[in-house]
Structures are given as C-alpha cells and as structure tokens.
C-alpha cells in the first residue's frame, strides 16, 4: 500500500538505525575509540601488572546479570523499532542482542565456581567455548545486519508478518543458543582444549579463541565501514573495536581468569553491551523532546491562528456595523420626515438614497471578505501588492480604530505585479499588522503603523510594516521566528514562524529591524512577475527575469 | 540606479470612498427644517457630531435634522476643538474609537471648558461599554452601534432639558 510506505519513510527519519550520525556523534565515537585504545595500551604496557587481583566470586554473577539486562533491553528496543520501521536489518541486529543476552545463561551455568565448583553444566572447556561462540556469533550477526541493510527499503513487511517475523527470529535465536550450548556441553570432550585448568588459558588460546573472534570482528568492522550510513552503524563499529581490543587483553600479559586483564576485558565487555543501549535511550529521549516541542509549537500556532481569527472577525464585525448603523439611523430619520404632518418627501427621498448607498458599502465589505477567503492555498496568481495591502487593511481596519492607530500606506504607482498565493500572503500581512497593533496598544502616542511597498532588486518587491510600538529586544531578534518563542503572555498574533515559512515558500525573505526612534520594522520580499517598468528603463541591458544575485542576506 | 520614485499615499478604501463622496457630507450649520417635529421640539438647538466615518456623520445629520436640531459635523475631536464653535454647541454626540484623540479624551477636553455640556457617546465596540466606569467621568450615556434613532433623540432632548 502506498500510504504505509509513505508512513514508514517518514518514521525512518527519526530512528537511530536510520538517521545518519551528526558530526558531534562522529567525534564522540572517535573519542571513545581513542580512549579505549589509550586504556588498552596502558594496560598492555603494564598498568595492571602491579595490581594483584584475586578471585571475587560475586563478580561474575553480578557482571553477567547486568550484561543480560543491558542486552535484553537493547534487543527489546530494537524489536520494537523493527515493528515500526519493518526493516529486516533491524530485526537481525535485534536478534544479535537477544543472542548475546541468552547465551549468558549457559555461560554462567557452565562457569566453574559460580553455582557449582566445576559448573552446573558441561565440563572444563564449556564456558570457554561458549565465550568463543558468543564473541564470534555477535560479529557474524553484525555482518548479516550490514548485508541485509541494502535490501531493506524494497523488502518491507506487512504489519501482520512483522509479528510473525519477530516470533520467528526469537525462536531461531533460542535454537541457535541451545545448539551452541549443546555443542559446548555434550561435545565438550571432543572439542579442542582451551583451558589448562579452571583458571589458566592453554597455549592454543590465541588460535582457538583470539583468531576467530578477531577475524570475525575485523570482518564485521569492514562490512560496517563499507555500508556505514546510520548512527547505529557508527556505534556498532565502536562495539566491534571493543571486541577486537578484548582479544589481546584477555591473553596478555597474564593468560588466566581473574587476572587484571581479565577483569579489564569484563569492563570492556560491559561497555560494549551497554553502548548501543545508551545511544538508543539517548535517541529516544531526544526524540521525545523533539516531539513535545513540535506538539507545543503546533498548539501555539493553532491558538495564534484562532486568536488572529478572533481579531479579524471582530474587525469584520465592526466594518459591517458601521454601514448598518448609518442605514438604521438614516431609516429612522426618513421615517420621521414622512411622519410629519406635512411629510418632507424631499428629505425622505434623500434618506432612502443614503440607505441604498450604505447598503452597497456593506455589500462591498462582504464582497471583499469573500474574495479574501475564497482563494485556494496552492493557487498562485499575479497581482498588485497595493491591492494585497488594501485587502489586508480591510480585515484589520476595525483594530486600527479600536486602538486609535494612525495608518499610513505608501506605495509606488508603477510597481510590478508579484506572483504568489494571495490568501497566504494576506495572512502574513494581517499577522504582521496585528503584531504591530499589539506592540503599540500598550504604548502612549504616537501610534503609527506604516505599510510601504517598493521595488528592491530588479525582480523583487519589498513590503515593510513599521510600527512605533515597544520594539523587539536585541536578544530576542534571533528568537522571534522560532515557533516556540513568544514575548506575549496571551500569545495573540503569534505566527511569525508561519509567516516566515509562507514567505520562504514564495522564495522570499522575512526579517525584522528596529524602527527609529522606537518600534520595529518587519520586511519581506516577493518576486515580481516581471521587472518593474521603471527598472526596465534604467537597466536596458538586464533581461527580463534574469537571475542576478538572489542571495539577499537581511541580517 | 532607480529613477526617483513617485511616492503617493493611496486611500485604503478606494471602493468605499466612491460612495462616501457621492452626496458629500456638508460640514457646517444646517438650516433647520422649520417644520414641527413629531416628538422632539428642538427649537433650533445645536448638536455637534464627531465621528471619523463619513457615513455615520451623514446619517446622524439626517436624524438630528429630522428632529429640527441645527447640526455641526466634525471628522475628529481636534477638528471640533479647533473650530472655535464649541461655545455655541448645546449637545455633543461623539464616537469613542477614533484615530488620534478618542471619544474619552475629547470628553475630558470639552468638559474642561464646558463642564455642563451634555455629551453622548457612540461606539462600534460593544465591549467598550464595559470599561466605562473608569473613563466616563461626566456620566455620559453610551450607545452601541447600531443604536435606535428614537432612543438617541430622546436621550438628547432629555439631556438638553435637564440643563435648562
């Protein structure tokens, strides 16, 4: 279904498994890797040689329990993400974390001295072989993840098959862990020996443990690097580097369990297990904050639109009330002229004429308003900016009267028509004028609102709305176009971010400068349908509509 | 370079002014009709009307003349103050919302020189009436547009009778 495709595409932009990492994330990953390498070099240079480490029986259960929690939570989060994004690669990496979480169970059972002196299951080699399978298995999952990434966009699953796919993956992963456990326990005797005794690693360790883990990690790192795209890829690469560092650290300088290096490897292991979880949680929080911001912004914008709508409605009501009052009053007068003992027909006739003329005025107001709201939002037409200003003024004229504001309009007679959506641009003008009125409403005289339009560049018209209000503080200038920002307690007339969005959609710009001696000037540019006649005279060499420097930086 | 641009102030209501202009509002003392009024006996008393809307001025002129008042019309408070004929006025009808000096400011100025002058206020914003107690020192009556003509006339004649 095309609709569900569209939804999935949009959702993809918000998940770490789909979003590409920013420069800050890349730097952080680099810092983590470099830090780990420094720690590794220090340890191999003999940092821990002076420290005599002992066997701590409580360490391993605590360590493995926390690893289990981290890995299973990561797996759950990734499964949830898969159910939303429905990308096969996410399912593979979720299974990878489920695998590392589940394999910890046989590992802890087999580890000698945790639950029983020689382990609950298997023999001497079982725990070591489970470690090998665990640390080789995860990089192989990562390789599968990276390989399945490219097919993802075309191979999306339906919602029902999503749940089936998750169930299948869980079953497969459990089966994999069970077979690994089976091999490491039942076939333990036939497996090559890694451990000399319960503590010491045998001389075969580098070949049987180190080499496979290192090569699987390097392969995974290479594939990830080649197919790197998302934030998840970046942090999985860091995890693979940690896997790689763990290999020499386990064997040098002392090849045995509960050595300084062994403990360090566990710390690294915990780090690798929690890294992606931390990134996922961080991303979820960021996403939540962004969502909240967007919802709040949307609510503010809606309220602002309603408030401006209220004011416009009040203004229209006033605009209608004026001719109605004139009509009613004149009608009363006319009746009185007719009611006289000798009716004054001449005056009564005049009264009727006046009523008719006032009725036409009311009709004109209605017609203007209807024309204002009839335009389709997507429709772009060519029109005179002066007309646009006149239409917008009709909508807010009542507010001028109410707040005793002197309105001035200046225009150039031979201004070229502009291209755009009349209704949207009118909303911008109304919004700017409402803001200006509000800025002046609490101030003493003079309250002057000037709207001016002039040709700015060869194919542009600049419209400016200047007020003598309270002005905008320098600190707020950068903020006022932010949808979440308002300096007003009731938020009326908000919507500067909408205004800017509309103007930018018209390839124009909206900015604000201080008015002298006080107040603010909001200015926006619009494209003319063709250059002004005045300029065509003064710039005969310039072609109509040619693009001379469209970059106009207002600030 | 752009040639010097011709900048002109344009009227914001070109459509509407066409109608305003057609029977142009006369500003000045209108001759009373001389005929008997049905309910109000104005006996040629002068009422000044201040409103920035020409259509309202014209309609009030018509109404007041139908009651045999002499009528003087002003487009703003300043115009009335500067006309120097405040002393000849018997009653004042003023709009509240006007650019520059509003109805309340005009009321204060008028009452400074003629405290006894009856003033009636009219407003296009019914909510203005709510904030009256603070502003309405003179105890003037306020009519919300559109008001009933006979009621306004009764209020004017009552006000004129009370000061006599």
- pLDDT at res. A481: 74
Please tell me the predicted confidence (pLDDT) of residue A539. 32
Residues of A (140-199) whose Cβ lies below 8 Å from B: none
Q: Any residues with CB less than 8 A from the CB of A491 and at least 6 apart, and which?
A: A300, A303, A304, A307
Is the pLDDT at B48 greater than 90? The verdict is yes
Among A256-265, A297-306, A413-422, the range scoring the smallest mean pLDDT is A297-306
**Best-predicted range by mean pLDDT (A356-360, A546-550, B27-31):** A356-360
Best probe of the A interface among B76, B102, B146, B150, by most A CBs < 10 A, is B146
Chain-chain contact of B148 with A332 (C-beta, under 8 angstroms) = yes
Distance CA A537, CA A527 (A): 19
Contact A361 B124 (CB under 8 A): no
Q: What is the mean pLDDT of residues A382-389?
A: 88
What was the pLDDT predicted at A51? 73
Backbone φ and ψ for A17, nearest 5 degrees, come out as -75, -5
- Name which of A106-120, A232-246, A359-373, B101-115 the model is least confident about: A359-373
Using a CB-CB cut-off of 8 Å, the residues of chain B touching A330 are: 58-59, 62-63
Record: contact B23-A354, CB cut-off 8 A:
yes
Residues of B in contact with A314 (CB under 8 A): 125
Specify the pLDDT at position A63.
93
Q: Do B55 and A358 touch (CB under 8 A)?
A: yes
> Please, which residues bridge with residue A410 across strands?
A452, B9
Pairwise CB contact (< 8 Å): B145 & A325: yes
pLDDT in tens, A355-367: 998 898 888 878 7
Q: Please indicate whether residue A121 or residue A318 has the higher confidence score (pLDDT).
A: A121
- Give percent of chain A above pLDDT 70: 85
pLDDT of residue A20: 78
Looking at residue B36, its pLDDT comes to 37
Give the lowest-confidence range in A176-190, A426-440, B2-16, B137-151. B2-16
| Residue in A325, A408, A410 closest to B56 by CB | A325
- pLDDT over threshold 50, residue A492: no
Residue A378 has a pLDDT of 66
pLDDT for residue B29: 38
Mean pLDDT, rounded, for A224-229? 90
pTM of the model: 0.56
Q: What is the mean pLDDT of residues B96-112?
A: 86
Q: Which residue has the higher pLDDT, A439 or A550?
A: A439
CB atoms near residue A551 (< 10 Å): 5
B53 with A326: Cβ contact below 8 A: yes
| Chain A positions in Cβ-Cβ contact with residue B102 (cut-off 8 Å) | 404
Length of chain B: 164
| Per-residue confidence (pLDDT) for residue A96, from 0 to 100 | 96
Q: How many CB pairs under 8 A join A and B?
A: 162
Instruction: Provide the pLDDT for residue A459.
Output: 83
> Which of B1, B4, B17, B19 best probes binding to A when mutated, by most A CB atoms within 10 angstroms?
B19
Q: Is the pLDDT of residue A119 over 70?
A: yes
Q: Which of B10, B59, B122 sits opposite A411 (nearest CB)?
A: B10
Determine how many CB atoms are found less than 10 A away from the CB of residue A13: 8
| Separation CA A395–CA B124 (nearest Å) | 15
Contact residues on chain B for A413, CB-CB shorter than 8 A: 6, 8
pLDDT of residue A530: 65
Q: What is the mean pLDDT of residues A181-205?
A: 89
Contact B23 A333 (CB under 8 A): no
Mean pLDDT of chain B: 75
* Range A541-547, long-range pairs (CB < 8 A, 24+ positions): A542/A458, A545/A459, A546/A458
Question: What is the tens place of the pLDDT at every residue in A145-164?
Answer: 999 887 655 456 677 788 99
Which pLDDT score, from 0 to 100, does residue A450 have?
A: 92
pLDDT of residue A434: 85
User: Are the beta carbons of B63 and A336 separated by less than 8 Å?
Assistant: yes
Average pLDDT for residues A104-112, to the nearest whole number? Answer: 93
- What mean pLDDT do residues A78-106 have? 92
Q: What is the pLDDT of residue A23?
A: 84
How far is the C-alpha of B119 from the C-alpha of A456, rounded, in Å?
50
Nearest-10 crossing angle of helices A231-251, A260-339: 160
Residue A502: what pLDDT?
Answer: 80
**E strand or H helix at A411:** strand A406-412
- Closest approach of B162 to chain A, Cα-based (Å): 24
pLDDT digits (tens, 9 = 90+) for A301-340: 777 667 667 777 777 788 888 899 999 999 999 999 999 9
A contact test, residue of B36, B61, B64, B66 with most A CBs within 10 A? B66
Give the per-residue pLDDT at A143. Answer: 95
Question: What does residue A460 show for φ and ψ, rounded to 5 degrees?
Answer: -130, 155
Spatial distance between the Cα atoms of A512 and A555, rounded to a whole number of angstroms: 9
Question: Which chain B residues contact residue A368 at CB under 8 A?
Answer: 15
pLDDT at A249 over 90: no
**H runs (alpha helix) in A186-258:** 205, 211-226, 231-251
A445-491 pLDDT tens trace: 788 999 998 888 778 899 999 999 888 887 777 677 765 555 554 44
Q: B40: nearest CA in chain A? A: A336
Split at pLDDT 50, 70, 90, the class of A18 is: low
Could you say which DSSP state residue A150 is in?
T
Which A residues, 336 through 355, put their C-beta within 8 Å of a C-beta on chain B? Answer: 336-337, 339-342, 344, 347, 350-351, 353-354
CA-nearest residue to B125 within chain A is A318
Rg (CA), chain B: 17
* Run of H or E residues at A191: none
Task: Give the Cβ contact number of residue B163 at 10 Å.
Answer: 10
In this structure, what are the phi and psi dihedrals at residue B9, rounded to the nearest 5 degrees? Answer: -85, 125
Among B6, B58, B149, the residue with its CB nearest the CB of A413 is: B6
A329/B99 touch (CB, cutoff 8 Å), yes or no: no
Phi, psi dihedral angles at B99 (to 5 degrees): -65, 150
What count of other Cβ atoms lies within 10 Å of the Cβ of residue A356? 13
Q: Does position A125 have pLDDT exceeding 80, yes or no?
A: yes
What domains lie within chain B, and their CATH numbers? 6-18+44-162 (3.40.50.2300)
Q: State the average pLDDT for chain A.
A: 82
Asked whether the beta carbons of residue A334 and residue B62 sit closer than 8 angstroms, the reply is: yes
Contact B56 A326 (CB under 8 A): yes
- Give me the pLDDT at residue A351, please: 93
Most B CBs within 10 A among A314, A318, A326, A354, hence the mutation to make, goes to A326
pLDDT on residue A317: 82
Contact A332 B6 (CB under 8 A): no
pLDDT of A129 above 60: yes
**Beta-carbon separation of B22 and A330 below 8 A:** no
The predicted pLDDT at position B3 comes to 43
Position B34 pLDDT exceeds 60: no
Nearest neighbour of A401 by CB, restricted to B66, B67, B99: B99
Sheet hosting strand B141-144, strand order edge to edge: B70-74, B46-50, B91-95, B119-123, B141-144
- Tell me what pLDDT residue A496 has: 78
Of B53, B66, B148, nearest to A322 by CB-CB distance is B53
**Which residues on A lie below 8 Å from B15 (Cβ)?**
364, 368
Cα distance from A324 to chain B (closest Cα, Å)?
Answer: 6
Whole-number Å distance between alpha carbons of B59 and A445:
31
Segment A506-527, tens digit of pLDDT: 888 888 888 888 889 999 999 8
Highest mean pLDDT range out of A43-47, A240-244, A369-373? Answer: A240-244
Q: Would you mind telling me the total number of residues written for chain A in this entry?
A: 555
B-facing residues of A in 11-50 (CB < 8 A) are none
Q: Which residue has the higher pLDDT, A306 or A235?
A: A235
pLDDT at site A488: 54
H or E element, residue A279: helix A260-339
Rg value, chain A, Cα: 37
Q: Mark yes or no for CB contact B149/A329 under 8 Å.
A: yes
pLDDT band for position B8 (50/70/90)?
A: very low
pLDDT value at B46 more than 80 = yes
């Amino acid at each position: 279904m095309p609709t569900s495709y569209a939804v999935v595409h949009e959702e993809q932009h918000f998940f770490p498994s789909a979003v590409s990492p920013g420069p800050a994330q890349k730097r952080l990953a680099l810092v983590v890797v470099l830090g780990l390498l420094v720690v590794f070099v220090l340890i191999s240079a003999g940092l821990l040689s002076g420290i005599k480490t002992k066997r701590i029986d409580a360490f391993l259960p605590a360590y493995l329990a926390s690893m289990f929690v981290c890995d299973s939570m990561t797996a759950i989060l990734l499964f949830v993400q898969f159910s939303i994004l429905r990308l096969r690669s996410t399912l593979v990496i979720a299974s990878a974390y489920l695998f590392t979480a589940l394999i910890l169970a046989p590992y802890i059972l087999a580890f000698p001295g945790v639950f029983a002196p020689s382990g609950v299951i298997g023999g001497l080699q079982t725990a070591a072989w489970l470690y090998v399978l665990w640390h080789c298995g995860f990089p192989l999952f990562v390789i599968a993840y990276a390989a399945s990434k490219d097919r993802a966009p075309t191979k999306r699953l339906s919602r029902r098959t999503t749940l089936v796919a998750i169930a299948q993956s869980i079953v497969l992963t459990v089966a994999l862990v069970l077979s690994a456990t089976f091999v490491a326990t039942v076939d333990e005797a036939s497996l090559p020996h890694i451990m000399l005794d319960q503590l010491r690693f045998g001389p075969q360790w580098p070949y049987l443990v180190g080499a496979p883990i290192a090569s699987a990690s390097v392969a995974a790192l290479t594939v990830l690097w080649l197919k790197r795209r998302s934030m998840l890829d970046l942090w999985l690469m860091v995890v693979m580097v940690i896997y790689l560092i763990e290999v020499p650290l386990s064997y040098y300088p002392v090849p045995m369990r509960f050595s300084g290096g062994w403990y360090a490897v566990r710390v690294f292991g915990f780090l690798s297990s929690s890294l992606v979880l931390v990134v996922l949680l961080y991303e979820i929080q960021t996403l939540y904050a962004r969502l909240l911001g967007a919802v709040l912004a949307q609510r503010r914008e809606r309220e602002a639109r309603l408030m401006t709508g209220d004011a416009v409605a009040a203004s229209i009501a006033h605009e209608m009330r004026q001719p109605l009052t004139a009509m009613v009053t004149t009608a009363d007068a006319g009746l009185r002229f007719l009611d006289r003992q000798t009716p004054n027909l001449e005056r009564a006739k005049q009264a009727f004429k006046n009523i008719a003329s006032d009725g036409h005025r009311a009709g004109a107001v209605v017609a203007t308003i209807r024309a204002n709201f009839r335009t389709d939002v997507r429709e772009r037409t060519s029109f005179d900016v002066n007309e646009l200003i006149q239409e917008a003024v009709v909508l807010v004229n009542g507010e001028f009267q109410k707040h005793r504001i002197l309105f001035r309009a200046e225009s150039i007679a031979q201004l070229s028509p502009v291209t755009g959506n009349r209704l949207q641009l009118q909303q911008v003008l109304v919004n700017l004028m409402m803001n200006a009125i509000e800025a002046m409403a609490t101030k003493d005289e003079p309250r002057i609102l000037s709207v001016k339009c002039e040709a700015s560049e060869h194919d542009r018209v600049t419209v400016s709305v200047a007020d003598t209000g309270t002005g905008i503080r320098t600190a707020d200038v950068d903020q006022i176009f932010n949808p979440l920002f308002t300096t007003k307690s009731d938020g009326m007339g908000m919507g500067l971010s909408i205004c800017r969005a509309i103007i930018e959609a018209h390839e124009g710009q909206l900015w604000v400068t201080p008015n002298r001696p006080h107040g603010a000037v909001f200015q926006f540019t619009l494209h003319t349908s063709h250059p002004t006649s005045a300029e065509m005279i003064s710039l005969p060499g310039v072609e109509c509509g040619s693009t001379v420097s469209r970059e106009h930086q207002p600030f | 370079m752009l040639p010097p641009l011709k900048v002109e102030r344009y009227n914001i209501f070109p459509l509407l002014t066409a109608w305003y202009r057609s029977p142009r509002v006369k500003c000045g003392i209108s001759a009373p009709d001389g005929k008997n009024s049905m309910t109000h006996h104005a006996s040629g008393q002068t009422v000044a009307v201040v409103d920035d809307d020409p259509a309202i001025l014209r309609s009030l002129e018509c109404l007041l003349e139908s009651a045999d008042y002499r009528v003087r019309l002003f487009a703003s408070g300043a115009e009335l103050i500067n006309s120097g004929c405040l002393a000849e006025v018997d009653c004042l009808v003023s709009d509240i919302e006007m650019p520059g000096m509003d109805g309340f400011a005009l009321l204060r100025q008028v009452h400074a020189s003629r405290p006894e002058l009856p003033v009636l206020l009219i407003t296009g914003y019914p909510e203005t009436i709510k904030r009256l107690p603070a502003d309405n020192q003179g105890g003037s009556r306020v009519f919300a547009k559109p008001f009933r003509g006979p009621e306004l006339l009764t209020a004017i004649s009552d006000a004129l009778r009370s000061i006599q």
